[in-house]
Structure 1
Amino acid sequence: MEMDGKEARSKRQKPAMEEKKVDLMDEAVAKMVEKEESETHVAGSDEMELQVNAILEKIESFTQLVSELLESGKTMFKELSNDFEERLIAIHKEQMEKWQEEIKDIRMLDVSNEEVNAILLNARDLLEKRTLDIDQGH
């Protein structure tokens, strides 16, 4: 049971950890861009500045793409998780209904068997009585 508690805490912490990862990634990119911008102001030709800016735009674009993919992936996994949960609950419900039907059938069979048993006991008693009557000459 101890493991279940740890797993539950871990699962609750994962979304927060994922958000921290994205935030850390954004911070790292921002620092890198800031550093690049400060370094480019030191010295460089216009052509070099254009190349650096093109790379910085690629970094920003790639970071945005990664962020969108992360969000898309999280959404997809959440939907899959919800679908899985719903299906598993439906399977459980179906199985419970089947077993309830089996219980009902068994109870009906038991009632029927008891009725038949009572009829057979009455018939046996009547036969025994009849046999005694015949043996006694009546």
Structure 2
Amino acid sequence: MECEGIQVLRKRMKPTMEEELKDGAGLEIVGKEESETNIVGSEEMELNIAHILQRIERFTEMISELLESGKTMFKELSNEFEERLIMIHKEHMGKWQEEIKELRLFDASNEEASAILHNARYLLQNHHID
């Protein structure tokens, strides 16, 4: 009966986290209570818990690996995308530069033909006047 009273008092007088940190004795009591709880569990239950913990660990590793491979993949895709866009830009710039060059040559040719026609018209007009 007296043991039951002490246990009830111990449960009621359980120190707060701050008191436990200030007083190392509180940590010992909690540690003893936890170890008593661990002993109560059956061997089969502990095995099941261990399997679950292993699955958690494997799952965490898998997620970590997926994150890393995803980061690598996105980085590679980003680099390829950037290179491709730069290449497309250069191709278009080259085409437009070529178009500008052709337009300038065409314009120069037209100016030359216009000058020849103007001279011919002038000669024809002068010839009719004479």
- Do Structure 1 and Structure 2 share a fold, with TM-score over 0.5? yes
Q: What TM-score results when the alignment is normalised by the length of structure 1?
A: 0.64
Once residues 42 and 107 of structure 1 are traced to their aligned partners in structure 2, the CA distance between those partners, rounded to angstroms, is 93
Write the mapping of 1:1-138 to structure 2, written as runs, cut at 5 A. Answer: 41-133=38-130
- What amino acid maps onto 2:43 in structure 1? D
Distance 1:61 1:119, change over 3 A: same
Once residues 105 and 36 of structure 2 are traced to their aligned partners in structure 1, the CA distance between those partners, rounded to angstroms, is 87
Once residues 35 and 72 of structure 2 are traced to their aligned partners in structure 1, the CA distance between those partners, rounded to angstroms, is 38
Once residues 62 and 128 of structure 1 are traced to their aligned partners in structure 2, the CA distance between those partners, rounded to angstroms, is 96
Once residues 65 and 105 of structure 1 are traced to their aligned partners in structure 2, the CA distance between those partners, rounded to angstroms, is 59
Q: What are structure 2's unaligned runs of at least 5 residues?
A: 1-33
Shift of 1:41: 2.9
Answer with 1 or 2: which has the greater Rg.
2
Q: What TM-score results when the alignment is normalised by the length of structure 2?
A: 0.68
Runs of 4 or more, structure 1, over 2 Å off, are: 37-43
Say how many residue pairs are matched. Answer: 97
**Higher-RCO chain (CA-CA 8 Å, sequence separation at least 6):** 1
Distance 1:70 1:88, change over 3 A: same
Q: What are structure 1's unaligned runs of at least 5 residues?
A: 1-36, 134-138
Residues 55-103 of structure 1: per-residue CA shift (max 9 Å, x gap)? 1011001100011011111111111111111111111111111111111
Residues 15-68 of structure 1: per-residue CA shift (max 9 Å, x gap)? xxxxxxxxxxxxxxxxxxxxxx97973531222211111110110011000110
Once residues 127 and 118 of structure 1 are traced to their aligned partners in structure 2, the CA distance between those partners, rounded to angstroms, is 14
Once residues 110 and 38 of structure 2 are traced to their aligned partners in structure 1, the CA distance between those partners, rounded to angstroms, is 97
